[in-house]
């Protein structure tokens, strides 16, 4: 082979290498998509040759009132754990600007899988499962504030779809906006509403898991809601055991506070975390700026949550 042809071949090889690198980087970046005319952000990790498509999991992450999806995209910290664990992450904006200061409509009773914002999020979830060959046993939903309450609502309406639910600074289901400042429903009320909404799908609670996190400094939503939500889910999952755990073993800029696991057969099914100094925020836990209802002086919750859900997942 002449020197000229060797040079040409080298150029083509370099171009191919650069294109493959650019393609890999592109897959690791957030992209802005639309579903039913509404924006959502999507993060799709690069799949290595050692991983199969069916290993992919999915996380739907819902923002809170007065917040946008972009804030969680920029500050929540999903990129590292999602890349490490082959998890697709979607962060949608509330359709049509939401209700009451941009909130998701989790309010009151009468929820079905199709009405209010439930149908939109469930439809988006099913589309992503299909588009990215998500393992249907590894589909999770999380949120902050009204987004957390909607995540809770959907985990009750569609326990067959969501293997796990996570809530930060969340009110309870079947409550009103005027009730956020003072816990107004009992553990039994919450559990009864959740079971009722599940209907014939209630059998899937036996393989669902949950995580609840809050800060005692929350000035908007009564922290008592988080405690009751966790106990209600433990009741639904028929947990009869509890075990404390230390937050210091986990990543974050301030992994301090109290951790409590509710167990079934000595395995965690609900984690309840009081994160010191958290407030009414999503716990970012990274060396980034706080703001817009994301507190970086906290547990690295996105990383904790990814590890927790995939390690305690009760579905085959």
* Residue 10 pLDDT: 36
Question: For residue 17, what pLDDT band results from cuts at 50, 70 and 90?
Answer: very low
Q: Count how many Cα atoms sit within 13 Å of the Cα of residue 42 in the half-sphere of its side chain.
A: 20
- Residues with Cβ < 8 Å from 292, sequence gap 6 or more? 67, 68, 71, 75
Top pLDDT among 29 and 190 is at: 190
Give yes or no for a contact between 153 and 189, defined as CB atoms under 8 angstroms apart: no
Say whether pLDDT at 19 is over 50: no
Each residue's pLDDT tens digit, 217-259: 899 999 999 999 999 999 999 999 999 999 999 999 999 999 9
* Residue 100 pLDDT: 87
Say how far apart CA 142 and CA 221 lie, in whole Å.
17
Each residue's pLDDT tens digit, 54-106: 589 999 999 999 999 999 999 999 999 999 999 999 999 999 999 988 999 99
Each residue's pLDDT tens digit, 28-58: 689 999 999 999 999 999 865 455 555 899 9
Domains of the chain: 31-312 (3.40.50.1820)
Say how far apart CA 239 and CA 102 lie, in whole Å.
35
Top pLDDT among 19 and 292 is at: 292
Say whether pLDDT at 5 is over 60: no
Beta strand extents in the chain (DSSP E only): 30-35, 38-43, 57-62, 87-92, 139-144, 164-168, 209-214, 241-245, 257-264, 267-275, 282-283, 294-295
């Amino acid at each position: 082979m002449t020197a000229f042809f060797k040079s040409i071949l080298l150029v083509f090889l370099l171009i191919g290498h650069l294109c493959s690198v650019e393609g890999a980087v592109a897959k690791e970046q957030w992209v802005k998509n639309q579903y039913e005319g509404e924006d959502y952000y999507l993060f799709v990790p690069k799949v290595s040759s050692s991983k199969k498509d069916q290993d992919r999991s999915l996380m739907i992450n819902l923002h809170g009132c007065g917040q946008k999806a972009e804030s969680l995209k920029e500050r929540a910290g999903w990129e590292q754990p999602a890349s490490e664990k082959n998890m697709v992450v979607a962060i949608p904006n509330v359709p049509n600007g939401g209700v009451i200061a941009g909130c998701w409509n989790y309010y009151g009773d009468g929820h079905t899988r199709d009405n209010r914002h439930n149908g939109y999020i469930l439809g988006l979830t099913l589309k992503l499962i299909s588009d990215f060959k998500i393992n249907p046993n590894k589909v999770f939903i999380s949120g902050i504030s009204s987004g957390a309450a909607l995540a809770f609502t959907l985990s009750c309406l569609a326990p067959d779809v969501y293997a796990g639910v996570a809530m930060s600074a969340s009110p309870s289901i079947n409550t009103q906006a005027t009730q956020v400042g003072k816990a107004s429903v009992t553990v039994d009320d919450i559990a009864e509403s959740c079971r009722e909404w599940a209907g014939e799908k209630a059998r899937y609670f036996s393989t669902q898991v949950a995580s609840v996190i809050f800060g005692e400094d929350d000035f908007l939503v009564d922290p008592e809601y988080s405690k009751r939500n966790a106990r209600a889910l433990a009741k639904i999952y028929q947990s009869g055991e509890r075990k404390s755990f230390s937050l210091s073993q986990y990543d974050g800029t301030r992994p301090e506070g109290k951790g409590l696991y509710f167990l079934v057969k000595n395995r965690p099914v609900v984690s309840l975390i009081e994160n010191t100094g958290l407030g009414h925020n999503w716990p970012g836990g990274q060396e980034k700026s706080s703001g817009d209802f994301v507190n970086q002086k906290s547990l690295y919750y996105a990383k904790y949550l990814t590890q927790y859900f995939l390690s305690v997942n009760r579905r085959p």
